[in-house]
Structure formats: C-alpha cells, structure tokens
Amino acid sequence: MTTVTIGIIDPFHQKSIETIEAAIPAEWRLSIAKGQNIDEKARALGEADIVFVMAAPMPASLIDAAPRLRFIQKLGAGIDRIDLDQCAARGIGLARLQAGNSIPVAEHTLLLMLAACRRLPLLDRQTRAGGWDKEAARGVSRQINGKTVGIVGFGAIGQAVAKLLTGFGANILYYDPRRAGSELERELQVTYVSLDELTAQSDIVSLHLPLMKETAKVFDAGRLAAMKPGSILINCARGGLVDETALHDALVGGHIFSAGIDAFEQEPPVGSPLLLLDQTIVTPHTAGGTIDNFKPVVERAVRNTQLFLSGEDILAQDLVLAPRRSAA
C-alpha cells in the first residue's frame, strides 16, 4: 500500500505521539518537527501528504513549505490560525473535529470559574509562604451557587458547560447568534437573552465563541464596563475575543473581580500585564488538552483522513474546505 506521511508541528508530549502512532495504519508514517522554529516546522512538512495540527499556526509560508500537502486535519474546532485562502488556492482539503474537545474544555472552564471565585492561585502562594489569614480569604471568596452565569456561545462547549453547571445551583443565561431549541433549553435549565442582557445580569461571563471578524474584541472596553461590578470573566475560547488592555484596566480598577484566561491574543503572552495581577488565573491554552480525550480525537482524525484518501465524504460538521481532486 502507498505510504502516507503525516506532518506534526505541534510540540506534543511523548504520550500524545505514542497515541498517534498507535492509531494510524501501519503504512503511514510521522514526520515530526524537531523544534518550534519555522525552519524545523517547514522541514517536517517537506514530504507531508497530510498534517495533523492542534494549536500550531499554519500561515501561507508554512503551507507552501509542504508541496505534497493535500489535506489538513485540525485536532479541534478552531481554524482561525490556518490560512484558509492559501488552502483554497492550493486545493488542500481541511477538516476540523467539531465538538471533539468539548468535555475537557467545559471541565477546564469550570475549573477556572471556581479558581477565580476563590482566587485560588493567590491563596496557594500565600499559604506556601507561611500565610494563614483565613478571614482575609473569606472576605473576598465567592461561590457559584446562587450566582448568574452567562454563557456566550452555545455550541457543543457552551452546552457542556451548562450541563456541568446544573449541579451548582446557578442561574444560567446564554447568548448565541442561533437560539437553541426549547427542548434543549428545558433540559439544560438555561434562559436565552441578548448579549447586552447577559453582560449586564451575569456574575460570571464565560466565552465560547469562535474568533471571526464579527467576534473580534467583542468584549471591548465598553462591554467590559457594562458587566456587573465585581463580576468574573472566563475565556477558554480565543484571546482575540477580548480587549486585553481594557480587561487589565477593569481588573486593576476593581470593576472586574477576577478573570480566568486560557487563551491570549498573543501566545505565549510574553510581557502581558495580565500575568502580573493577583486577580488573574492563567493557563497555556490547554483547556482541551487531556490525555484521556486525545485518543478519541486522534481516532476521529484518522477516520476523516481515511475518508479523504479513499475519496469518500467527510461528515459535513467536520468538513471546512473540500479538497480539489484530480480528474483521474
């Protein structure tokens, strides 16, 4: 059988590489970038027929470094870091894994909510340093129970977050350009409101929108100012959804109590003033990154690739760009 080369440019953990190796057919091989500079990535893609990519950007220059590339499989849902115009110009197919990481992202979202309510990293640092001021902690700590949580974006991840929250005794609002059906709203005990209503009423706002022209900096200075005084912002989606300078100012000024941030506009966020604040809980865009979930993600990616190679249709929910196939 013809050998298929899969290009890997993300800095995956060795266990993740082993998971990929166990999932691919015997006649496939991996070409793995030995470093994270552009030259090493280009070298890894030089003979790649397929690319499996998680979070690494794929600009036009990197796509052009892969002359044999025919198909890109995103190991997640977001495609804003892939040059779609260049893929289309080259006739390269592109698929994502819609809802593939929804459970770990939802769990991480809840983790950041709880940590932000209790300012957990700050308490951890103070306790390790010998501090034991329980009453000071009581004076600022909050609970989710009885609070209003607003979910912005109600796709698979937003719905998974709502499902987890049902056990916390929270009032759950949601906004999405497309309203969910009444049956799902009843099942998840959620209420549909406008984005302005959600912003004004929520004690905790959690973002789960894709990054597009229409959503870029949707939480700008004006919208942050419209949030309830003392509220919390959680972003496990894309950094570009939030004006980070305005968020910093809102945190320093005390209008926003705390923020849980898994996604930054620039990654890694070297020099970001948000990293210096006690009110922020930050993680390295790892909300979807659990070894438990990686195996089914990879298996689904392999299945989509097999469908592509055999000329069969990929599920419509996953297909982003149909490949250009030869007349033969």
Assess whether 92 and 223 both reside in one domain: no
Question: What are the tens digits of pLDDT across the range 43-92?
Answer: 999 999 999 999 899 999 999 999 999 999 999 888 999 999 999 999 99
Question: What are the tens digits of pLDDT across the range 180-203?
Answer: 999 999 999 999 999 999 999 999
Q: Does 327 reside within a domain?
A: no
- Let me know if 285 is a catalytic residue: yes
Domain total for the chain?
2
Question: What are the tens digits of pLDDT across the range 246-266?
Answer: 999 999 999 999 999 999 999
Q: Residues 40, 185, 265, 267: which is the catalytic one?
A: 267
Assess whether 123 and 154 both reside in one domain: yes
Q: Residues 70, 90, 96, 285: which is the catalytic one?
A: 285
Q: Residues 90, 142, 238, 248: which is the catalytic one?
A: 238
Q: Read off the CATH number of the domain in which 152 is found.
A: 3.40.50.720
- Let me know if 267 is a catalytic residue: yes
Domain that holds residue 221: 102-282
Taking the model in full, what pTM does it have? 0.89
Handedness of CA 69, 73, 74, 75 (dihedral sign): negative
